[in-house]
Structure 1
Amino acid sequence: MPKAGPRPVARLGVRRAAPLRGMWMLGPALVAGVAYLDPGNVASNMTAGARYGYLLVWVVLAGNIMAWLIQYLSAKLGVVTGQSLPEVLGTRIRNRWARRAYWLQAELVAMATDIAEVLGGAVALYLLFDIPLLLGGAITGAVSMVLLAVQTRRGPRHFEFVIIGLMLIIVIGFVAGLFVAPPDPAGVLGGMVPRFDDSGSVLLAASILGATIMPHAIYAHSALTRDRFPARGPGADSRRPSLRTLLTVTRWDVTIAMVIAGSVNLAILLLAAANLAGVEGTDSLEGAYAAISDNLGAVIGTLFAVGLLASGLASTSVGAYAGAEIMHGLLTIRIPLLARRLVTLIPALIILGIGFDPTLALVLSQVVLSFGIPFALVPLVALTAQRRTLGEHANRPLTTVLGVVFAALLIALNAVLLWLVATGA
């Protein structure tokens, strides 16, 4: 007796599950988006709101719009080529010494990012449990090693679940204060008008953008989508969705991630603008925590510190992942993530051990990040505009124009940041 063919009900079930399947493919952008919620962002946005009120609301919004396009281009490169940005550059930069020089600057940027994130976690542990900064930095590094072990042994999906869980804690920690003391709607609307007050506001605007668009997030996102959606090849799963489907899901993924990151960054600025304007000492994480606790209560202050801790733990894990990918892509050297995490933890522990001001170290790390912006942005826009790289999925002319404009603007603002810091303006 012949076997019965597949039942129509089964096919209907597959069709009905398609939207759920699309949701299941979300995740890489949420992991990369944690880079937009690191302690450097907290410090920049908190200081901007405390010093200038609602003046720089427009900067946070503009930065988020630019971040959406940049992160989408990075994700698209990984989805279409099946390679990360460092891998593509590793094959395109033929000169060995040029490739090594490019790797060195990218590696230094990743390490500077990592220092800021470990410092943020150490400060949070000090605020919550009065743990000495050096020990707090060691604990932050140890926990990040556990998170990276999840990625190494359980795969990208489990790593995404952990990071997304930490992102939820970040959202609660940094947004809770707005429900206790909401901002002035008129002030928020007024802050959407682009303007500056003085050189200090320009410096903070550049700091906000510098802390928002970070090179390691660009490198990491292309690798995350590559790992999550490996390209078709011999023996590959034939059920892999089409590139068009993956790119559609990726756009939604990036949109959700950037809405969350942008909303939280805006919430931090608004919280400071509404409640900490003119309060002394809010230019440091410790001072901001004390001011929030004094003005909004101990519960909100504790939630802020918990959010800061989750921020440091999640972002340092993503930073270590990005650094490993940079080395692998450009030098074809694969160092185990946990070993790399141990090595890159040393500079942060040295800074904490010698008693260097953590907030100043955070600011200086943002300056180092500024040097790396052009080296990540320019190749990203150029590669995604090439048909020989992305074929029919290459950027449309308008996308390329926007990418060039955003890259030029970010490079110029970071140059202004470097100049203002150098001149002490």
Structure 2
Amino acid sequence: MKNLKHTEHRDPQSLSEVHQSVDTSKRTGWKRILSFIGPAYLVSVGYMDPGNWATDLAGGSKFGYQLIWVLLMSNLIALLLQSLSARLGIVRGLDLAQASRNAYPKWVNIPLFGLAQTAIVACDLAEIIGMAIGLNLLFGLPLIWGISITIFDTVLLLFLLNKGMRKMEAFIVSMVFIVGVSFLIEMFIVEPSIIEIAKGFEPSILGGEALYIAIGIIGATVMPHNLYLHSSLVQTRKFQRDEKGIQEAIKFNFIDTAVALNLAFFVNAAILILAAAAFYKNGLHEVAEIQDAYKLLQNIFGNVAPALFAIALIAAGQSSTVTGTLAGQIVMEGHLKLRIQPWLRRLITRLLAIIPAFFTILWYGDDALGGLLILSQVVLSLQLGFAVIPLIHLTSDKKTMKGFAIKLWVKILAWTSSLIIVSLNVKLVIEEIKTWGASGEWYIYVLVVPASLLIGLLLLYVFIYPILSRIRRENNNVPHGHALNIEPVEKIDYRRIGITVDFSKNDRNTIRHALIQGGKQAQYYLIHVVETAAARYYGDTALDYETQSDTENLQKYCSNLAELGYQASPHIGYGGTVKAIVRISNENKLELLVMGAHGHKGLKDLILGTTVNSVRHKVSIPVLIVR
């Protein structure tokens, strides 16, 4: 097992923009260990996002220190599962979504994607609400405006992605540091009872509202999208892919995970302890709202604690929203083989989360956001089984994991954790359906019960399929299959070649490449699109100055080529560039299209459009792109 390179580890990779962008091989000693530090900190922000705040505040204010053991159990389960997620990404070079696509039938991946996407939207919902509340507390900005402006943090994600993996990690760690320091200071202010905190680590039987909040805590702590995210982020580290290198990567990533998640546990425990010491002890048992916590902290401890509280809330929300977007990209590419631009992916996720938050305020008022926050965390918990069960199956598989498959005792711990999560979720669903059913509403029996049964059956299938399926499906690496044998090929003679021109200095190079492809035997179709307002409205009847000028220029190109012995004809399009080029290509039955690319990207792409990219997706002929 000296070299573990295999067919799974092949481009395009998970988060290909930053894949293997951090080289660890040239560093030694502490620098080598530190080069692996980072992925778990990106993951850990999901363990201390505004959703956690809501469940921790509710748990601390209503039940004092009683639920600290739930936090500890959740953190230990998270440490186990995140280490399995990292192991999967390191050994197989696939993230959890990609590996699940290989392991399960194609149809299963569609609902798995839907459920994972629902969890990501629920997570993003928590970030939106947290950011809006933080802005409201610090600057008095109305919640509905705070929610509306969170759509602009899409720009932040684009900026961080362009700066590279290390810069993104530095931003996240700085946000985590702000959160940690804020709560460390607040712990000194509230002076909680150490003895009572210690009693809170003793497990107790849960039911009713305590169970609901406990499951919310589990959902807020062991977040399903983090399992997808971690298995991808560990692939940003470049290391020697032999047995020793992989073993070392697993060890260093476990250290990274343990430190980061223990910091997250400290933050969550600090919030719960803060709520217990400040509110539960003062008889304020209904503090489930973050705004209430802020006001009460101000009344009890003055201005310092609430200000730190609001700053930490904004930092937590802003950092979590970045990692949620990355997870969404991983899930979509892995399960569906669908890749879209990160900014568009971010925008879609954010809009899906903004809509329920926006209408909740409009219909029920600002006070309903706290309940929506806790609900979002319960939704996360309900989705956990669909990420955890495949993860355990995949990391237990000796055929694909080779000598790095998890040991029996780890497998027992992992399945026990999974059983706890699923059992608590089943109990919660049954209790909630009974509660809702008491109202006698028809939709409970027509929609909610059948949907719950279908989801339960899907979970059972996800568990059973890898056990019963002895014949492994052929590994179909995401998003490509195996390399094919290349047969001897004959030269292709293109007879009808289209050339897009814009009368810039790039035209000479574009035309030259086209002439090389077809020689003097081919017919060339020079294409230019007039985009003036007149051209858009009047089409080929437009006679404005630009249309006439462009027509003359195009004719000059044709005459010039005729003098050189080439056959060329002019073709003017009007209005939308992409639509016009595609129409001319189809009408003239072109065999090859040669286009000049100007190399603009980022903001210019948004302003000027991405003509080349759009055209190549809409024509069925080869497209030669010339820079």
TM-score, length basis structure 2: 0.62
For 2:415 and 2:225, how far apart are their aligned partners in 1? Answer: 19
Structure 1 residues 359 and 74, CA, compared in 2 at 3 Å: closer, same or farther?
A: same
Deviation for aligned residue 1:280: 5.5
Question: Pick from 319, 325, 328: which aligns with 1:323?
Answer: 328
- 1:161 counterpart = 2:166: no
Count of residues in correspondence between the two structures: 404
1:281–1:288 Cα contact (<8 Å) kept: no
CA contact (8 A) 2:215 2:425 kept: yes
Q: Which moved more, 1:195-204 or 1:384-393?
A: 195-204
2:233 maps to 1:228: no
Cα contact 1:177–1:296 (8 A) shared by 2 = no
- Residue 305 of structure 1 corresponds to which residue in structure 2? 310
Greater Cα shift, 63-72 or 16-25 = 16-25
1:335 corresponds to: 340
Equivalent position to 1:204, from 181, 205, 213: 213
Provide the C-alpha distance between the structure 1 equivalents of 2:169 and 2:351, rounded to a whole number of angstroms. Answer: 26
Q: Are 1:128 and 2:138 matched, yes or no?
A: yes
Q: Which moved more, 1:356-365 or 1:338-347?
A: 356-365
Q: Provide closer, same or farther for how the CA distance between residues 352 and 16 of structure 1 changes in structure 2, counting only shifts above 3 A.
A: closer
More helix by share: 1
- AA at the equivalent of 1:123: I
Query: 2:502 maps to which residue?
Result: none
CA offsets 1:328-366 (integer angstroms, 9 cap, x no match): 011111112111111122133323433152212212212
Taking a change above 3 Å as real, the CA distance of residues 198 and 91 of structure 1, as seen in their structure-2 partners, is: closer
Identity of aligned residues (%): 33
CA distance in 1, matches of 2:34, 2:244: 13
Instruction: Give the drift of 1:158.
Output: 1.5
**Structure 1 residues 211 and 417, CA gap change in structure 2 (3 angstroms):** farther
Which is richer in strand? 2
**How do 1:229-378 residues align onto structure 2 when only pairs under 5 Å count?**
229=238, 242-277=245-280, 278-279=283-284, 281-354=286-359, 355=361, 356=364, 357-378=368-389
Work out the CA distance in 2 between the residues paired with 1:243 and 1:322: 24
CA distance in structure 1 between the partners assigned to 2:141 and 2:355 by the alignment: 17
Q: How far apart in 1 are the matches of 2:435 and 2:57? A: 21
Which whole-Å deviations, capped at 9, do the CAs of 1:13-63 have from their partners, x for residues lacking one? Answer: x99942222112201011101110011111111111111111111111111
Change (3 A) 1:83 1:303: same
Paired residues for 1:72-91 under 5 Å? 72-91=83-102
| Residue in structure 2 matched with residue 57 of structure 1 by the alignment | 68
Supply the RMSD in Å over aligned alpha carbons.
2.2
* In the alignment, structure 1 residue 117 sits paired with structure 2 residue 127: yes
1:216-236 deviation per Cα after TM superposition (whole angstroms, max 9, x unaligned) = 11111111112334785xxxx
Letter in 1 for 2:200: G
- State the one-letter code of the partner of 2:129: L
SS at match of 1:265: helix
Aligned-pair CA distance for 1:153: 1.3
Return the alpha-carbon distance in structure 1 between the equivalents of residues 311 and 433 of structure 2: 34
* Distance (Å, rounded) in 2 between the aligned partners of 1:62 and 1:47: 18
Shifted more, 267-276 versus 16-25: the winner is 16-25
Q: Which amino acid aligns with 1:285?
A: I
Range with bigger deviation, 252-261 or 329-338: 329-338
Alignment check: 8 A CA contact 1:215 1:372 kept: yes
1:219-268 alpha-carbon deviations (Å, 9 max, x no partner) = 11111112334785xxxxx9x98111111101100100111001111111
Partner of 1:67: 78
- Equivalence for 1:102: 112
1:330 maps to amino acid: H
CA distance in 1, matches of 2:334, 2:175: 28
Q: Does 1:24 align with 2:20?
A: no
Distance 1:224 1:249 in 2: 14
Distance change in 2, residues 1:405/1:280 (3 Å): closer
* Structure with greater Cα Rg: 2
Matched letter for residue 217 of structure 2 = I
Q: Can you list the C-alpha shifts for 1:281-300, whole angstroms capped at 9, x where unaligned? A: 51111111111221122111
Matched with 2:480 is none
Judged with a 3 Å threshold, the aligned counterparts in structure 2 of structure 1 residues 241 and 358 are, in CA distance, closer, same or farther, namely: farther
1 CA distance for matches of 2:331 and 2:27? 40
Q: Is the 8 A contact 2:135 2:314 kept in 1?
A: yes
CA offset at residue 187 of structure 1?
A: 0.3
Choose between structure 1 and 2 for higher RCO, CA contacts under 8 A separated by at least 6 residues.
1
Structure 2, unaligned runs of 5 or more: 1-24, 437-627
Q: Unaligned 5+ residue runs, structure 1?
A: 1-13, 233-237
Instruction: Report if aligned partners of 1:33, 1:257 keep a CA contact under 8 Å in 2.
Output: yes
Q: Check the 8 A contact 2:147/2:358 in 1, yes or no.
A: no
Q: Is the 8 A contact 1:147 1:159 kept in 2?
A: no
Q: Does 1:36 align with 2:47?
A: yes
Closer/same/farther in 2, CA of residues 372 and 125 from structure 1, 3 Å limit: same
Output the CA distance in 2 between the equivalents of 1:24 and 1:150: 22
CA distance in 2, matches of 1:119, 1:187: 32
C-alpha deviation, 1:194, in angstroms = 0.7
Q: Tell me the equivalent position of 1:7.
A: none
- Does residue 194 in structure 1 map to residue 197 in structure 2? no
Say whether the 8 Å CA contact 1:374–1:407 is kept in structure 2.
yes
Query: 1:11: which partner in 2?
Result: none
Give deviations 1:348-404, integer Å, cap 9, x for gaps: 332343315221221221232233111100000111111122111110100001000
Matched to 1:338, the amino acid is W
SS in 2 for 1:333: coil
Map 1:398-413; keep pairs closer than 5 Å. Answer: 398-413=409-424
Identify the match of residue 180 of structure 2 among 166, 171, 187. 171
The 1:31/1:349 distance shift into structure 2, 3 A limit, reads same
| Residue identity in the other structure for 1:300 | A
Shift of 1:197: 6.6
Question: Matched residues in 2 for 1:141 and 1:321: separation?
Answer: 16
Cα distance in structure 2, aligned partners of 1:306 and 1:423: 40
Tell me the SS of whatever aligns to 2:65. Answer: coil
1:282, 1:291 within 8 Å by CA — same for their partners in 2? no
CA distance in 2, matches of 1:108, 1:15: 41
Contact 1:156–1:228, Cα closer than 8 Å, also in 2: no
Q: Distance in 2 between matches of 1:259 and 1:202?
A: 24
User: What TM-score, normalized to structure 1?
Assistant: 0.90
- Residue type of the alignment partner of 1:212: T
What residue in structure 2 maps to residue 6 of structure 1?
Answer: none
Letter in 1 for 2:137: L
Alpha-carbon distance in 1 for matches of 2:431, 2:221: 18
